[in-house]
Amino acid sequence: MSLLSLEDVRTDIGQYAVLHCISLEVPEGGVFVLLGRNGAGKTTTLRSIMGLWRPKAGAIRFQGEVISGLHTAEIARKGIAYVPENMGIFGGLTVEENLVLATEKGKFDPDRLARIYGLFPALEQFWTKQAWSLSGGQKQMLAVARAIVEPRALILIDEPTKGLAPSIVAAMAEAFRDIARTTTILLVEQNFHFAKSLGRDMAVIEDGRVVHSGTMAGFAADAELQNRLLGLAT
């Protein structure tokens, strides 16, 4: 059984049909990468999973249970976290306060906090600093840390490397590899090099439809397919 499955999901935004037919099977463990050109519907897919857009048809199942139709807070409680492209952190609050707000009871599990410090040492270093004063990479680390401060089975992460320097992207890849040992990651990413280094399974979305799915190794080895679906130079 897949951890997450989308079956013929269709989502409208206002009067516009954005997702026409999204079917995906995300297995448990590792990183599943969603690729596609700008405007293809990747963010809308993540938001539909999270209940931020309500699909008008189709079914989304998590651990075998239908979650499409539930409220976002209920979906989160089932064990799914979402790191949106704008990161969703509070600039006027400290690193600590941002993380406290992401806990269920306002208290940290010491083991989880130690893990976060191990993954992202900068967060421990800047623990009492307001989030706006962090670098772009540190803000992204804080956003990911908020998603793992409670136990989760699945994290949805939208374009985490956008605008980051290559050295930070490499550190992020290391952290994601570590997180994916215990928590499945569904990653939307434009940086194909980053995505390729992490993904086990993948799918490509085009105009609100899944037009390809398979292993990342297979896709990475097929330059013609990459060029056709993503416009990457061969």
Interface ranges with ligand ATP (CB under 6 A): 13-14, 16, 18, 36, 38-44
Q: Which is nearer to ligand ATP, 33 or 116 (CB)?
A: 33
Smallest separation, CB 85 to ligand ATP (Å): 7
Query: Half-sphere exposure of residue 2, counting CA atoms within 13 Å on the CB side?
Result: 16
**Which residue's CB is nearer to ligand ATP, number 159 or number 201?**
159
Name which of 16 and 105 has its Cβ closer to ligand ATP: 16
Cβ contact 104:69 at 8 Å: no
Tell me which H or E stretch contains 155: strand 154-158
Q: How far is the CB of 53 from ligand ATP (least distance, A)?
A: 9
- Return the number of the residue (36 or 160) whose C-beta is nearest ligand ATP: 36
- Taking the complex as a whole, the smallest distance from the CB of residue 226 to ligand ATP amounts, in Å, to 17
Alpha helices by DSSP H, listed for 17-135, are: 42-49, 72-77, 95-101, 110-119, 121-125
We find the least distance from the C-beta atom of residue 40 to ligand ATP, in angstroms, to be 4
CB atoms within 10 A of CB 65: 9
d(CA 135, CA 185): 24
Question: How is residue 187 written in tokens?
Answer: 């990653």
